[in-house]
Amino acid sequence: MAARIVVKLGGGLITDKSLFKTPKIDIIDAISKEVSKLISNGHSVIIVHGAGSFGHLLAKKWSLSGGLRPEISVQQREAVGEVRSDMVELCEFVTSSLRRQGVNSRVFPPSEWATGTGEGFEGDIGIFENIPSEIVPITFGDVVSVPGDNEFGILSGDDLMARISLEVPSVTHCIFLLGDADGMLDRPPDMKGSRLLETWKEGEFVETMHNAEQDVTGGIVLKASRASAISTDIEEVWFINGNHPDRISQLIDSGTTIGTKILG
Ligand code: IP8
């Protein structure tokens, strides 16, 4: 059966999060190869990607997630433009890598079609269904306009994942590719003895460490909560290590892989 897969490339997977605007080309290429294979096998793919060091560092520096602050409004507005263009630049690394693998894509920057932040953002999700199945629609976490005095805010790729997975018809798989772990672990990946959880359900305790130094959105906690909301409707919601993108095909072909299945 043809699968319809929504996949998130985490910002920490496709960029070096600590170095301003540093893409990880090898990883992006490996993922593009896998996407090309999935499409050749008759599946369709929608890509959402995170911001990593193309978004979070500047957004943090100018407090963009909290909206307009009159005392720094000039610098903030300048930073909004800069982050938006940096995100388009990061997306181009993804689209050109896909093109090298013979995959065509169409980019939908949220600043052009979405307003508001969080799960309840406004925007026509229908744009992701009305394109031929061999073309990969791509969107990403972005700075968007918000109603009221705040003027702008950060829309996370995780919120886009939730809305796209739940509203585009017949999505079969929703996959979060992580940069630093095989899936959801019982404690932070760099902590000794951390163990992969084969399944996870909202409410089950895991010890997390969110790096608020670099990240203006919610890290693994936001991801897990969005994934859990998606899993109430979609059977196959997974956290998989993006350094091994071939695990996506393995999951589609055999029904399982190394990773964490999120249960609804
Ligand atoms: O990395 C954040 O998106 P995320 C977007 O998916 C920006 O949370 C611009 C920081």
Mean pLDDT over 56-82 rounds to 97
What's the domain range around 64? 4-263
Which pLDDT value is given to residue 133? 85
| Residues whose CB falls within 8 Å of the CB of residue 74, separated by 6 or more in sequence, listed in order | none
> Which atom, in ligand 1's list, is nearest to the CA of 157?
6
Mutate to test the pocket of ligand 1, among 56, 83, 91, 163 (most ligand atoms within 8 A of CB): 56
Residue nearest to atom 1 of ligand 1 (CA): 50
Classify residue 105 as left (phi > 0), alpha (psi -120 to 50) or beta.
beta
Q: Identify the DSSP state of 259.
A: S
Evaluate if residue 219 carries a pLDDT over 80: no
Sign of CA dihedral 138, 256, 220, 24: negative
Output the pLDDT for position 221. Answer: 73
- pLDDT at 114 (0 to 100): 98
Residue 119 has a pLDDT of 92
> Which segments of the chain does DSSP mark as H helices, in order?
11-14, 25-40, 56-61, 73-100, 110-113, 157-167, 219-231, 246-254
For residues 126 and 124, what is the distance between their CA atoms, to the nearest angstrom?
A: 5
Atom of ligand 1 nearest to the CA of 51: 1
65, 154, 221, 223, best to mutate for ligand 1 pocket (most atoms within 8 Å of CB): 154
Q: What are the tens digits of pLDDT across the range 159-193? A: 999 999 999 999 999 999 999 899 988 888 778 88
CA 114 to chain centre: 16
Instruction: Using a pLDDT cut of 90, give the percent of the chain over it.
Output: 82
Tally of domains within the chain: 1
210, pLDDT greater than 60: no
The CATH number covering residue 247 comes to 3.40.1160.10
**What digits encode the pLDDT tens for the residues 5-34?**
999 999 999 999 989 999 999 999 999 999
Per-residue pLDDT reduced to its tens digit, 82-120:
999 999 999 999 999 999 999 999 999 999 999 999 999
**What confidence score (pLDDT) does residue 211 get?**
54
Ligand 1 neighbours, Cβ below 6 Å, are 11, 50-51, 55-56, 59, 83, 87, 141-143, 154, 156-158, 216-217
Ligand 1 geometric centre to CA of 36 (Å):
25
Q: Is the pLDDT of residue 54 over 90?
A: yes
- DSSP 8-state secondary structure symbol assigned to residue 247: H
